[in-house]
Structure 1
Amino acid sequence: MILVALLVLASVQVALFEEYIIPDNIDIDDILKNDRLLKNYVNCVLDKGNCTPEGERLKKAIPESLQNGCSKCNDKVKEGTKKVIHHLIEKKPDMWKELEARYDPNGDYKKKYKDLIEKEGLAI
Protein backbone atom coordinates (compact mmCIF):
# COMPACT_ATOMS: atom_id res chain seq x y z
CA MET A 1 0.00 0.00 0.00
CA ILE A 2 1.07 3.48 -0.41
CA LEU A 3 0.93 3.64 3.35
CA VAL A 4 3.42 0.89 3.52
CA ALA A 5 5.45 2.55 0.86
CA LEU A 6 6.36 5.07 3.35
CA LEU A 7 7.35 2.59 5.62
CA VAL A 8 9.68 4.30 3.68
CA LEU A 9 10.63 7.37 5.33
CA ALA A 10 9.29 6.78 8.68
CA SER A 11 10.84 3.55 9.21
CA VAL A 12 14.38 3.56 8.04
CA GLN A 13 14.14 -0.17 8.25
CA VAL A 14 16.61 -2.97 8.55
CA ALA A 15 15.96 -6.52 7.43
CA LEU A 16 16.89 -8.68 10.37
CA PHE A 17 15.70 -12.22 10.90
CA GLU A 18 13.13 -11.72 8.14
CA GLU A 19 11.55 -8.79 9.95
CA TYR A 20 11.85 -5.08 9.30
CA ILE A 21 12.80 -3.08 12.36
CA ILE A 22 13.59 0.52 13.16
CA PRO A 23 17.06 0.70 14.66
CA ASP A 24 17.18 2.20 18.15
CA ASN A 25 19.36 5.07 16.97
CA ILE A 26 16.73 6.25 14.46
CA ASP A 27 14.15 8.75 15.72
CA ILE A 28 11.36 9.18 13.19
CA ASP A 29 10.09 12.32 14.87
CA ASP A 30 13.53 13.93 14.49
CA ILE A 31 13.54 13.07 10.79
CA LEU A 32 10.06 14.48 10.25
CA LYS A 33 10.99 17.72 12.05
CA ASN A 34 14.12 18.22 9.98
CA ASP A 35 13.33 19.16 6.37
CA ARG A 36 16.91 18.48 5.25
CA LEU A 37 16.94 14.94 6.67
CA LEU A 38 13.48 14.16 5.36
CA LYS A 39 14.37 15.45 1.91
CA ASN A 40 17.55 13.37 1.92
CA TYR A 41 15.60 10.19 2.67
CA VAL A 42 12.99 11.00 0.04
CA ASN A 43 15.68 11.77 -2.53
CA CYS A 44 17.39 8.49 -1.66
CA VAL A 45 14.32 6.34 -2.24
CA LEU A 46 13.56 8.27 -5.43
CA ASP A 47 17.12 7.72 -6.73
CA LYS A 48 17.63 11.49 -6.77
CA GLY A 49 20.38 11.63 -4.16
CA ASN A 50 22.87 9.73 -2.08
CA CYS A 51 21.69 7.17 0.45
CA THR A 52 22.81 6.35 3.93
CA PRO A 53 23.01 2.62 4.71
CA GLU A 54 19.59 2.94 6.39
CA GLY A 55 18.20 4.69 3.32
CA GLU A 56 19.47 1.92 1.06
CA ARG A 57 17.78 -0.72 3.20
CA LEU A 58 14.61 1.31 3.21
CA LYS A 59 14.66 1.70 -0.58
CA LYS A 60 15.06 -2.06 -1.00
CA ALA A 61 12.25 -2.81 1.47
CA ILE A 62 9.57 -0.63 -0.10
CA PRO A 63 8.61 -2.74 -3.14
CA GLU A 64 8.36 -5.96 -1.15
CA SER A 65 6.44 -4.27 1.65
CA LEU A 66 3.95 -2.86 -0.82
CA GLN A 67 3.44 -6.24 -2.42
CA ASN A 68 2.99 -8.25 0.77
CA GLY A 69 1.16 -5.80 3.00
CA CYS A 70 4.21 -5.19 5.18
CA SER A 71 4.13 -8.74 6.43
CA LYS A 72 7.72 -8.44 7.70
CA CYS A 73 7.01 -5.26 9.63
CA ASN A 74 6.84 -5.27 13.39
CA ASP A 75 4.37 -3.04 15.24
CA LYS A 76 6.93 -0.25 15.72
CA VAL A 77 7.57 -0.12 11.97
CA LYS A 78 3.86 -0.10 11.19
CA GLU A 79 3.23 2.77 13.61
CA GLY A 80 6.23 4.69 12.26
CA THR A 81 5.00 4.15 8.74
CA LYS A 82 1.59 5.55 9.58
CA LYS A 83 3.20 8.59 11.20
CA VAL A 84 5.36 9.27 8.17
CA ILE A 85 2.53 8.81 5.71
CA HIS A 86 0.25 11.16 7.60
CA HIS A 87 3.06 13.73 7.81
CA LEU A 88 3.84 13.55 4.11
CA ILE A 89 0.25 13.70 2.94
CA GLU A 90 -0.71 16.52 5.30
CA LYS A 91 2.48 18.60 5.34
CA LYS A 92 4.60 17.59 2.34
CA PRO A 93 2.12 16.75 -0.44
CA ASP A 94 4.67 17.37 -3.20
CA MET A 95 7.01 14.77 -1.69
CA TRP A 96 4.09 12.38 -1.32
CA LYS A 97 3.12 12.82 -4.97
CA GLU A 98 6.67 12.05 -6.10
CA LEU A 99 6.76 8.91 -3.97
CA GLU A 100 3.34 7.88 -5.21
CA ALA A 101 4.40 8.40 -8.84
CA ARG A 102 7.49 6.26 -8.27
CA TYR A 103 6.03 3.40 -6.25
CA ASP A 104 2.40 3.33 -7.39
CA PRO A 105 2.25 4.91 -10.86
CA ASN A 106 -0.93 3.06 -11.86
CA GLY A 107 -2.69 3.39 -8.49
CA ASP A 108 -2.68 -0.38 -7.95
CA TYR A 109 -1.63 -0.15 -4.30
CA LYS A 110 -4.04 2.70 -3.66
CA LYS A 111 -6.83 0.37 -4.80
CA LYS A 112 -5.42 -2.64 -2.97
CA TYR A 113 -5.23 -0.76 0.34
CA LYS A 114 -8.32 1.40 -0.11
CA ASP A 115 -9.95 0.21 3.12
CA LEU A 116 -6.83 0.85 5.18
CA ILE A 117 -6.38 4.29 3.65
CA GLU A 118 -9.97 5.18 4.52
CA LYS A 119 -9.59 3.76 8.04
CA GLU A 120 -6.59 6.05 8.55
CA GLY A 121 -8.67 9.02 7.39
CA LEU A 122 -6.24 9.86 4.61
CA ALA A 123 -7.32 11.88 1.62
CA ILE A 124 -5.12 10.69 -1.22
Structure 2
Amino acid sequence: MKFAVFLCVISFVVIVTADKQKDEKYTTKYDNIEVDKILNNDRLLRNYVDCLVHGTHCTKDGEVLKKVLSEALKTKCEKCSEKQKKEAVKVITFLLKNKRDWWNEIEAAYDPNHVYREVYKKEIKDAGIQF
Protein backbone atom coordinates (compact mmCIF):
# COMPACT_ATOMS: atom_id res chain seq x y z
CA MET A 1 0.00 0.00 0.00
CA LYS A 2 2.77 2.41 0.96
CA PHE A 3 4.70 1.57 -2.13
CA ALA A 4 1.66 2.15 -4.24
CA VAL A 5 1.28 5.62 -2.81
CA PHE A 6 4.95 6.34 -3.38
CA LEU A 7 4.78 4.96 -6.90
CA CYS A 8 1.81 7.12 -7.71
CA VAL A 9 3.47 10.19 -6.29
CA ILE A 10 6.57 9.51 -8.32
CA SER A 11 4.35 9.13 -11.34
CA PHE A 12 2.77 12.51 -10.95
CA VAL A 13 6.04 14.13 -10.04
CA VAL A 14 7.42 12.86 -13.27
CA ILE A 15 4.28 13.98 -15.10
CA VAL A 16 4.65 17.43 -13.74
CA THR A 17 8.32 17.55 -14.62
CA ALA A 18 8.95 15.32 -17.55
CA ASP A 19 10.91 15.84 -20.78
CA LYS A 20 14.05 14.05 -19.80
CA GLN A 21 17.44 15.12 -20.99
CA LYS A 22 20.43 12.85 -20.96
CA ASP A 23 22.22 12.78 -17.60
CA GLU A 24 20.35 15.86 -16.37
CA LYS A 25 17.36 16.58 -14.20
CA TYR A 26 13.90 16.17 -15.65
CA THR A 27 12.51 19.37 -17.04
CA THR A 28 10.63 21.67 -14.71
CA LYS A 29 8.47 22.78 -17.65
CA TYR A 30 5.37 21.21 -16.08
CA ASP A 31 6.05 22.11 -12.44
CA ASN A 32 3.30 24.74 -12.44
CA ILE A 33 0.54 22.25 -13.19
CA GLU A 34 -2.06 22.41 -10.46
CA VAL A 35 -1.91 18.84 -9.21
CA ASP A 36 -4.71 19.42 -6.66
CA LYS A 37 -7.11 20.38 -9.45
CA ILE A 38 -6.30 17.16 -11.28
CA LEU A 39 -6.70 15.06 -8.14
CA ASN A 40 -10.08 16.60 -7.43
CA ASN A 41 -11.42 16.10 -10.94
CA ASP A 42 -12.21 12.44 -11.68
CA ARG A 43 -12.34 12.99 -15.44
CA LEU A 44 -8.88 14.59 -15.57
CA LEU A 45 -7.35 12.14 -13.14
CA ARG A 46 -8.82 9.18 -15.00
CA ASN A 47 -7.28 10.51 -18.21
CA TYR A 48 -3.83 10.47 -16.59
CA VAL A 49 -4.40 6.92 -15.37
CA ASP A 50 -5.50 5.87 -18.86
CA CYS A 51 -2.44 7.55 -20.33
CA LEU A 52 -0.05 5.76 -17.98
CA VAL A 53 -1.72 2.37 -18.20
CA HIS A 54 -3.13 2.25 -21.73
CA GLY A 55 -1.39 5.08 -23.60
CA THR A 56 -4.73 6.80 -24.29
CA HIS A 57 -6.01 10.29 -23.44
CA CYS A 58 -2.43 11.56 -23.04
CA THR A 59 -1.71 15.25 -22.68
CA LYS A 60 1.79 16.52 -23.48
CA ASP A 61 2.79 16.27 -19.82
CA GLY A 62 1.18 12.83 -19.59
CA GLU A 63 3.21 11.62 -22.56
CA VAL A 64 6.40 12.85 -20.92
CA LEU A 65 5.47 11.19 -17.64
CA LYS A 66 4.77 7.91 -19.39
CA LYS A 67 8.20 8.08 -21.06
CA VAL A 68 10.17 8.68 -17.86
CA LEU A 69 8.16 6.88 -15.19
CA SER A 70 9.96 3.54 -15.42
CA GLU A 71 13.35 5.23 -15.22
CA ALA A 72 12.24 7.43 -12.33
CA LEU A 73 11.10 4.37 -10.40
CA LYS A 74 14.34 2.51 -11.05
CA THR A 75 16.52 5.44 -10.00
CA LYS A 76 14.44 6.55 -7.01
CA CYS A 77 13.64 9.69 -8.95
CA GLU A 78 17.24 10.92 -8.91
CA LYS A 79 16.53 13.27 -11.82
CA CYS A 80 13.44 14.74 -10.13
CA SER A 81 13.42 18.15 -8.48
CA GLU A 82 12.35 18.42 -4.85
CA LYS A 83 9.00 19.85 -5.96
CA GLN A 84 8.45 16.91 -8.28
CA LYS A 85 9.18 14.45 -5.49
CA LYS A 86 6.79 16.27 -3.16
CA GLU A 87 3.99 16.31 -5.74
CA ALA A 88 4.55 12.63 -6.51
CA VAL A 89 4.04 11.75 -2.86
CA LYS A 90 0.84 13.79 -2.84
CA VAL A 91 -0.52 11.97 -5.88
CA ILE A 92 0.38 8.51 -4.65
CA THR A 93 -1.12 9.16 -1.24
CA PHE A 94 -4.30 10.50 -2.79
CA LEU A 95 -4.69 7.52 -5.10
CA LEU A 96 -4.08 4.98 -2.37
CA LYS A 97 -6.54 6.61 -0.02
CA ASN A 98 -9.23 7.66 -2.50
CA LYS A 99 -8.85 5.77 -5.78
CA ARG A 100 -7.41 2.41 -4.80
CA ASP A 101 -8.74 0.67 -7.93
CA TRP A 102 -7.02 3.22 -10.14
CA TRP A 103 -3.82 2.84 -8.15
CA ASN A 104 -4.02 -0.93 -8.61
CA GLU A 105 -4.18 -0.44 -12.39
CA ILE A 106 -1.05 1.70 -12.35
CA GLU A 107 0.79 -0.69 -10.06
CA ALA A 108 -0.18 -3.67 -12.24
CA ALA A 109 1.29 -1.89 -15.27
CA TYR A 110 4.51 -0.63 -13.67
CA ASP A 111 5.17 -3.03 -10.80
CA PRO A 112 3.23 -6.27 -11.24
CA ASN A 113 5.67 -8.19 -9.02
CA HIS A 114 5.73 -5.52 -6.29
CA VAL A 115 9.50 -5.12 -6.60
CA TYR A 116 9.34 -1.40 -5.84
CA ARG A 117 7.52 -1.96 -2.58
CA GLU A 118 10.78 -3.33 -1.21
CA VAL A 119 12.94 -0.72 -2.93
CA TYR A 120 10.86 2.09 -1.43
CA LYS A 121 10.20 0.41 1.93
CA LYS A 122 11.64 3.28 3.98
CA GLU A 123 9.83 6.00 2.04
CA ILE A 124 6.58 4.09 2.29
CA LYS A 125 6.97 3.68 6.03
CA ASP A 126 7.91 7.36 6.46
CA ALA A 127 4.78 8.37 4.53
CA GLY A 128 2.65 6.30 6.91
CA ILE A 129 1.29 4.12 4.13
CA GLN A 130 0.32 0.51 4.66
CA PHE A 131 -0.24 -2.20 2.09
- Closer/same/farther in 2, CA of residues 77 and 25 from structure 1, 3 Å limit: closer
Percent identity over paired residues: 41
Q: Which has the higher strand share?
A: 1
TM-score by length of 2: 0.85
Unaligned runs of 5+ in 1: none
Q: Is the 8 A contact 2:48 2:62 kept in 1?
A: yes
Q: Is the 8 A contact 1:22 1:77 kept in 2?
A: no
Q: Name 1:19's counterpart in structure 2.
A: 25
Unaligned runs of 5+ in 2: none
Equivalent of residue 128 in structure 2, options 117, 121, 124: 121
Equivalent of residue 91 in structure 2, options 79, 84, 91: 84
For 1:9, give the aligned amino acid. Answer: F
Q: Name 1:9's counterpart in structure 2.
A: 12
Q: Name 2:115's counterpart in structure 1.
A: 108
What's the secondary structure of 2:94's corresponding residue? helix
TM-score by length of 1: 0.89
For 2:12, give the aligned amino acid. Answer: L
Q: Which has the higher contact order (CA 8 A, sep 6+)?
A: 2
Q: Take 1:16 and 1:101, find their aligned partners in 2: how far apart are those partners?
A: 24
Deviation at 1:41, TM superposition (A): 0.5
Corresponding pairs, count: 124
Q: Is the 8 A contact 1:14 1:57 kept in 2?
A: yes
- Closer/same/farther in 2, CA of residues 76 and 25 from structure 1, 3 Å limit: closer
- Closer/same/farther in 2, CA of residues 15 and 48 from structure 1, 3 Å limit: closer
Q: Is the 8 A contact 1:32 1:38 kept in 2?
A: yes
Q: Give the aligned CA root-mean-square deviation in angstroms.
A: 1.8
What's the secondary structure of 1:19's corresponding residue? coil
